[in-house]
Structure 1
Amino acid sequence: MNVKKPVFSYIEFYEWMVQLVNNKQTSGEKQTENLIQFTELNLSRMKRLNKTTKLIPELENLVTGLKKPQVWYVITEAWCGDSAQNLPVIGEIATAGDKIELRIVLRDENPELIEKYHTNGSKSIPKLIAFSEKGVELFTWGPRPKPAHDLVLDWKENPAGRDFEALEKELHTWYAKDKTQTLQKEFLHLLSALKN
């Protein structure tokens, strides 16, 4: 896959987020106060998930038993709230065994890449694309677990007086209650479906 730098591992991305927050910045050219605040909030979410994420045994066993190498690309940005909720878990999955190489790339640096992987016609992130070592696409995932995605789609179709801030609160409350379980089960299903 042809991507523009920077390309991060999960640890490198997290450390870069720390630098951005320390410098009161975000990723990309748009350095708005809102996006900078989202980045700071996202770092605290990631920090919490780095400490609390524990893989369900079935998923951990499946990942440690993988025989064939995979390369996972995650397209994201530092200000993305869904990324902060999901990327630490994806990082944990990727490092549970030795067959998954995780590469995190920035959406706005790679417009031609996100154009290939729209969700319902939009450039929603995070978006994960998994490849075999020979470059065959294995599966895609994103931008969020299905129940969370349904919540967003429902809001778009019928906001019922809820503004974006209300949606954000509802969405992140869902993430907090779910405790990464749905995301992990989705990856268990995706990886189980592969002929390994």
Structure 2
Amino acid sequence: MKSIVAKALFNSHSYAEYRKIVTDLLTEGKSTGNEQSESLTDYSKLNEARMNRLEKTITISDAIAEKLQNLDNHYIWLVLSEGWCGDAAQILPILNKMALVSNKKIDLKIAFRDENDDLMSHYLTNGGRAIPKIIVICKEAGIVRADWGPRPKGATELMEKHKREVGAIDEKIKTDLQLWYLADKGISVQEELVEIMENIKYNRL
């Protein structure tokens, strides 16, 4: 497992690098990942606009920032993602801002899912390769301490309720999910991740 994580870290990107890769591919009419289609490219274009907006509007509360700054150790958040993923577009700008306010306690790294099949296979969600998936690595110990994803609990419950009632993921649930993220304003992601990080803090190595 250590070698798989190390390989993914070696091939990972900063947030700015990730954004540039996605943008450059879009100028060629492509999306990230092994599969290429017009719909995936369209989703990637939509996600570009979402991320640009969220970078301007998402805020990290002073309370969350203080908790991140007071972590006992330094961590890497290794995120498996792809440019076409709607959940990733909603979540990555939040992670980036959390890392920026953490006083270097958090180092955000992003790896493409389809380039890291071995690692993705260790972090399946109900047997599926759902993203984004955040893998929390303690820098000092060099080990994985926790993981989170692909979406906050409230968004997960919304999706599961729709699947029970309708039996499939359709355009309505995609729209409802984006509206949920808009109303939530990134608060659930912040609170859930801080809870995970504080659990690590109190359960010392």
Q: Same fold (TM over 0.5)?
A: yes
Aligned partners of 2:62, 2:132: CA distance in 1, in Å?
Answer: 25
User: Map of 1:39-78 to 2, 5 A cutoff?
Assistant: 39-78=44-83
Equivalent residue, structure 2, for 1:7? 12
1:126 is aligned, of 132, 148, 155, to: 132
Write out per-residue CA displacement over residues 110-158 of structure 1, whole angstroms, 9 at most, x where no aligned residue.
1110100011111100000101112222211100110101111222222
Alignment of 1:28-47 (within 5 A): 28-47=33-52
Identity %: 33
Residue pair 1:76, 1:104 contacting (<8 A) in 2 also? yes
- Please list, as runs of the form range in 1=range in 2, the aligned pairs for 1:103-182 lying within 5 A after superposition: 103-133=109-139, 134-159=141-166, 164-182=170-188
SS at match of 2:77: strand
- Aligned mates of 1:178, 1:127 — CA distance in 2: 19
Please report how far the alpha carbon of residue 60 of structure 1 lies from its aligned counterpart in structure 2 after TM superposition: 0.6
CA RMSD of aligned residues (A): 1.6
Q: In structure 2, what is the Cα distance between the partners aligned to 1:20 and 1:56?
A: 34
Please give the per-residue CA displacement for 1:64-88, whole angstroms capped at 9, x wherever unaligned: 2234111111001110000000011
- Pairwise CA distance, 1:177: 0.9
**In 2, are the aligned partners of 1:3 and 1:113 still within 8 Å (CA)?**
no
On the 8 A contact 1:73/1:129 being kept in 2, the answer is yes
1:190 equivalenced with 2:196 (yes/no): yes
Deviations 1:6-41 (A, max 9, x none): 411111111222212222210022210000000000
| Structure with the bigger percentage of helix | 2
SS where residue 32 of structure 2 aligns? coil
Report the 3-state secondary structure (helix = DSSP H, G, I; strand = E; otherwise coil) of the residue aligned with 1:7.
Answer: coil
**Is the Cα contact below 8 Å between 2:71 and 2:201 reproduced in 1?**
no
Q: Does 1:85 align with 2:90?
A: yes
Q: Gapped runs of 5+ residues in structure 2?
A: none
> What is the identity, as a one-letter code, of the residue corresponding to 1:129?
I
In structure 2, give the amino acid aligned to 1:195.
K
Q: In 2, Cα distance between the equivalents of 1:71 and 1:185?
A: 18
Tell me how far 1:163 sits from its aligned partner: 5.5
Count of residue pairs the alignment pairs up: 195
TM-score with structure 1 setting the length:
0.93
Mapped partners of 1:3, 1:80: distance in 2: 23
